Structure 1
Amino acid sequence: MRDRTGLPLYHLDLLWHRPDKTTVSEAEFDAALAEILRKDRWIIDGNFSRTLERRLAECDTVFLFDLPLADCIAGVEARIGTKCEDMPWIETEFDPEFREFITHFSETRLPNIYALLEKHRDKTLTVFHSRAECEAYEIPAAEA
């Protein structure tokens, strides 16, 4: 979406993780997020359910990737050994804890996301059920 809209992109994983695989404090994360939310226009990538309601309050548009589990697993596996812009290190293996998180995401996290989105019905919501849907999505002129 960044390349198609020209909007600045911020990855929550980069706010949370340090290059040495430790994490910042919640206060540091929240301060960095607040700085981003004060900007006029942005794209924020990531789940981080603790701050989702705050982000929903500030945004006008939500793109939700509700992908099949197999696609999510394949996406992570394809990134192993590759430098990715959203992480401060190169993954060398599929972290078992992260695999577990992904495996149960649709049962444990997704219902809460949809419930929060229901509370924020004033937002423009687009749900992608495949990467192909995202690729085919045409951005309205007002968003570009």
Structure 2
Amino acid sequence: MEAIHHKKVLIIGCSGAGKSTLSRKLAMRWGLPLHHLDALFWNEGWIPTPKPEFREMLKDVVAQPEWIIDGHFNSTLEMRAQYADLIIFLDFSNWLCLSRVTKRVWSYWGQTRPDMAEGCPEKIDMNFVRWIWRYPKDVRPGVLDILRKTQADVVLLKTSVEVERWLATTPQRNTKGGVL
């Protein structure tokens, strides 16, 4: 079985694609520290961290020897991609992403979900819905440009079945860093 050599992993995609779910599974499987961009960027009451401060926080995270970072955040994607050795792009349909976000809002309404900063209860608005709907046209082309330029290994997954198949084929790291 192939040794796990990925220690700096980005999981990107549209809201609702399943980035946080996959990142939790992969963090447990590979024993890597997990960082959710939403939890780093947002402060109580949905107050954003100023962009220069956010970039500095991310520089500290990517300088660490091992990590999984999930989240999209266009403004820092290129910088994070420079440090990654594996980028997983969940390239799902906007219909699926929108339906998952709707389900998530319903499930967590008035509560803070586990991958979000404390004090940011789940919500949805038309700007967020529009961003999800327009993601394939407005955001995806830029993501693909970054992926074409990166030195990292890239895994592009388009369906939940592909995600589960890929995850099932990844070896599990034991506590000493080897492969089980």
Quote the offset at 1:27 in angstroms: 1.6
Answering whether residue 71 of structure 2 is matched by residue 42 of structure 1, we say: no
Partner of 2:170: 139
Mapping of 1:77-92 within 5 angstroms? 77-80=102-105, 81-82=107-108, 83-88=112-117, 89-91=120-122
Which residue of 11, 20, 28 corresponds with 1:3? 28
> Runs in 1 of length 4+ with deviation above 2 angstroms?
140-144
TM-score by length of 2: 0.73
Equivalent residue number for residue 117 of structure 1:
147
Instruction: Give the secondary structure class of the aligned counterpart of 1:86.
Output: coil
Q: Which residue of 2 aligns with 1:33?
A: 58
Q: Distance in 2 between matches of 1:124 and 1:141?
A: 18
Name the SS for the 2:75 alignment partner: helix
- Counterpart code for 1:111: P
1:16-69 per-position Cα deviation (integer Å, ceiling 9, x unaligned): 111211111112101110110111111111111111111111010000000011
Look up the match of 1:101. Answer: 131
SS at match of 1:10: strand
User: How does 1:45-64 map onto structure 2 within 5 Å?
Assistant: 45-64=70-89
| TM-score calculated relative to the size of structure 1 | 0.90
Equivalences, count = 142
Name the CA shift for 1:70/1:29 in 2 (closer, same or farther; >3 Å): same
Report the secondary structure of 1:118's partner residue: helix
Deviation at 1:132, TM superposition (A): 2.2
- Counterpart in the other structure of 1:20: 45
Residue 100 of structure 2 aligns to which amino acid in structure 1? G
What is the one-letter code of the residue matched to 1:84?
A: R
Within a 5 Å distance, the mapping from 1:67-78 to structure 2 comes to: 67-78=92-103
Amino acid at match of 2:30: T
* SS of corresponding position for 1:117: helix
2-side partners of 1:33 and 1:131: how far apart? 28
Read off the aligned partner of 1:126 and give its amino acid letter. V
